[in-house]
Amino acid sequence: MQAFLNQYERYRAANLDLRIVKHVQIENLLSALPSLFAVSPIGESVENRTIYGVRVGSGKTRVLLWSQMHGDESTATRALFDIFNFFAASDEHNELRKQIFDNLELLFIPMLNPDGAERNQRENAYNIDINRDARKFTTPEGQILRDQTKNFAPHFSFNLHDQESYYSAGTTPYPAAISFLAPPPDAQESVTDSRRRAMQLIVLLNKQLQFVIPNCIGKWQDTYEPRAFGEWSQAQKSATILVESGGYYNDTERNFIRKINFALLLESLRAIASNDFINESIESYFSIPYNRENGMFDRLARQQTITTNGISYITDIGYRKNETVFGDLENYGSLESN
């Protein structure tokens, strides 16, 4: 993973530095991809924007990756185009590319929710959260993801999202820069074969990320949500991994976390192609700290003297976009600096 990070600038896709990414940008980039990639329309959004699938590789193990299911969550979408550039290059990583292409067949769906992206909102044009449409399949975007999953029958699936910047990794003052989940396939939260494989892969990724962004890895609560696509996908016997890109120090546009996405997704594909993850213990999965909501601030001022009604006292002050918090904030962190 560190090698991918060190050489990232070679592959970084241009003109994707801002968090707001529109459908026309994606179409322009997809049209410029070389013939290595099979790019095809797989359906249309509510407002008739084309949703695309990108295929590469000819291996027996099938991997599905979708991004921007929520229209305002673009970090992974941008990282996917960095990965496309990596795949199209020719350099000292050619052996790895061959290993991936020979062992895996990859299907990418960048920007599943182009109407939401156009509005920079979470929901689609029906104002429905697509990630709560895996039971009734009301939305055309949800139907597309359902059909692609059924037809492609992936062995592994990556559900790629952004999360709120203010989550911390457990009760620490460190941001949950990346959070994982191996969603449960049922209300009993069963550890099926597919979920076990997802947990093992997450354990491997967490080990490597601790060298890169130590203490900044979290995990979502695994309470079963029957309307969510992660749970539905896991129930289809596809080892499903939720990846949430969060806040990091001085990373307003999430370009550093985009870079981390690039490295962790490439490492995931390498590990799947080589089966390097299969000896990992799932006990380590359960030790990853849960996300803590509002564990971070944009800025923290500690031990400040405040005077109210002529009485002075000392307190910590935490600033977020829409609120200011006073009190003991010792175990809280600031995104302003590391």
Mean pLDDT of 249-262: 97
Q: What pLDDT sits at residue 66?
A: 98
pLDDT-above-90 percentage for the chain: 98
Q: Which residue has the tokens 């494989």?
A: 197
Q: Is the pLDDT of residue 242 over 70?
A: yes
Say what the pTM is.
Answer: 0.97
pLDDT tens digit sequence for 99-135: 999 999 999 999 999 999 999 999 999 999 999 999 9
Rounded CA-CA distance 160/131 in Å is 11
Q: Are 20 and 252 in contact (CB under 8 A)?
A: no
pLDDT tens digit sequence for 84-104: 999 999 999 999 999 999 999
In the chain, the domains with their CATH numbers are 2-292 (3.40.630.10), 297-334 (no CATH)
Return the structure tokens found at 241.
């991994």
Q: What pLDDT sits at residue 320?
A: 97
Q: What pLDDT sits at residue 167?
A: 98
Q: Are 76 and 178 in contact (CB under 8 A)?
A: no
Please report, in angstroms and rounded to a whole number, the separation of the first and last CA atoms in the chain. 22
Tell me whether strands 104-109 and 50-56 are parallel, antiparallel or unpaired: antiparallel
Mean confidence (pLDDT) of the chain: 97
Q: Is the pLDDT of residue 338 over 70?
A: no
pLDDT tens digit sequence for 288-329: 999 999 999 999 999 999 999 999 999 999 999 999 999 999
Model confidence band, residue 337 (pLDDT cutoffs 50, 70, 90) = confident
Q: What pLDDT sits at residue 188?
A: 97
Question: Mind giving me the DSSP string for 106-123?
Answer: EEEE--S-HHHHHHT-SS
Which of 215, 176, 179 is closest to 295 using CA atoms? Answer: 176
pLDDT tens digit sequence for 135-185: 999 999 999 999 999 999 999 999 999 999 999 999 999 999 999 999 999
Rounded CA-CA distance 81/85 in Å is 6
